[in-house]
Amino acid sequence: MIPVKGYKGERVAVLGLGRSGLATAAALRAGGAEPLLWDDSPEARAKAEAEGFTLTDLTRHASLEGVACLVTSPGIPHLYPAAHPIIARALELGVPVDNDIGLFFQSAAGTEWDEMETPPKIVAVTGSNGKSTTTALIHHILRAAGKPVQMAGNIGKGVLSIDPPGEGEVVVLELSSYQTELARALTPDVAVFTNLSPDHLDRHGGMGGYFAAKARLFTMGGPDRAVIGVDEVEGRYLAGALAQGAQDDRVIRVSSGTKLEGFGWSVFARKGFLAEWRKGRQVASIDLREVKGLPGAHNHQNACAAYAACRALGLAPKLIEGALHSFAGLPHRSQLVGERAGVRFVNDSKATNVDSAAKALQAFPRIRWIAGGHGKEGGIASLKPLLGSVVKAYFIGHSARDFALQVGETPHEICETMERAVARAAEEAQAGEVVLLAPAAASFDQYPNFEKRGEDFTARVKALIG
């Protein structure tokens, strides 16, 4: 646990008692603060009481008077589309509003770090797509290199639940826009921006607000190194805003598909090969085509970002290359779950929007595509130019019929359930093809979350192939 510093003897309100909220309460108490806990859910309040915490009804008008800070969980809106009433009241009173990420950066480092020969480093990863894979890949590479490392944030443990980092240790954090937009302290040593595509726009008041939330990771504290994906205009803008010029190697530009040879430091992938360039010359190259845990151009971008972050930490290219080959991938993210008679079955249940699904559809040459669920605005019409690799589509869930109307001449079948879709795709697939679950839709019509959807796909595939 990371005890929270700066609030000893103070009353600190905590709104939201999920995983991060309860961890925050414990860390505040360990740091000598008095946490005042509340959640709108009776079930969450009961769980907190069962763990020995005392509740305070923060909905009462006077409950926030004299409070030093309000700490809120990431999923609770504080501005758009409308602030939660408790947060709105805190803002009226001038009570600072923070989250567990801000408390972590405020509290993780201490005077003991000054006495270490190799102080800990913090790597933080954000972006629209690929941040979980990039975070896990950095963690995997560091472990393979024998480095002490912990992973937390939007993946793994809550940030305040990790052990205090020790000599030479690296903490790798995945941070969502919900987490970066409110944190009052953001000071990583290495910060990574993977890419940007439209998501959570109602929460951020549009694309500009969404990008601004991500950019705070780089502009708040100024990381020693910034790894920036520059395949979108926002990434190019961010890299330009941070660098003093093209040769400023504090910014490492990353791309999947574009040569980046004219910069102080860049890492890019083209035609399956990763290349690192520094000050006008190539210093390393890695063949990514046989790295089974990272298929497709989108994963090659993830590999470039992770490679750049690990190079910024001082790891050698050959060491990183070996670790890439032993990376198995994350569950529900281009995860190979089985193979039968030359047919591969890939679970990309995390592809909950068309941008993620587009990347999955470009990763394989011949696809039996399982898609559908609770479709988002616009459906899958924008994917039509990418359907040349789809041998046949099998649609499930609430949006199955809507999706079927948007795929033009692409062969398709309305299956409605995962059970039928897997059975039909497996029955019709030929050697060399991939049965791919990339839903391009939310899961909430049939499953509580994308993980359960992916687990259902995986279980049905394993039952079929034995």
Query: Which positions are annotated as active-site residues?
Result: 131, 154, 200
* 326 labelled ligand-binding: no
* 130 labelled ligand-binding: yes
* 432 labelled ligand-binding: no
Dihedral (C-alpha) 10, 14, 18, 22: value to the nearest 10 degrees? 10
Other beta carbons within 10 angstroms of residue 145's beta carbon come to 18
* 347 labelled ligand-binding: no
Quote the CA–CA distance of 84 and 77 in Å, as a whole number: 6
* Crossing angle between the packed helical segments 207-219 and 233-242, to the nearest 10 degrees: 30
For residue 414, how many C-alpha atoms fall within 13 Å in the half-sphere facing its CB?
10
* 240 labelled ligand-binding: no
CB distance 339 to 465 below 8 Å: yes
Angstrom distances, CA of residue 424 to CA of 345, 377, 392: 13, 28, 10
3-state secondary structure 368-402: EEEEECEECCCCCHHHHHHHHHEEEEEEECCCHHH
Quote the CA–CA distance of 419 and 288 in Å, as a whole number: 34
* 73 labelled ligand-binding: no
Quote the CA–CA distance of 199 and 448 in Å, as a whole number: 20
Quote the CA–CA distance of 253 and 442 in Å, as a whole number: 32
* 131 labelled ligand-binding: yes
Instruction: Enumerate the known binding-site residues.
Output: 127-133
Instruction: Enumerate the known binding-site residues for ATP.
Output: 127-133
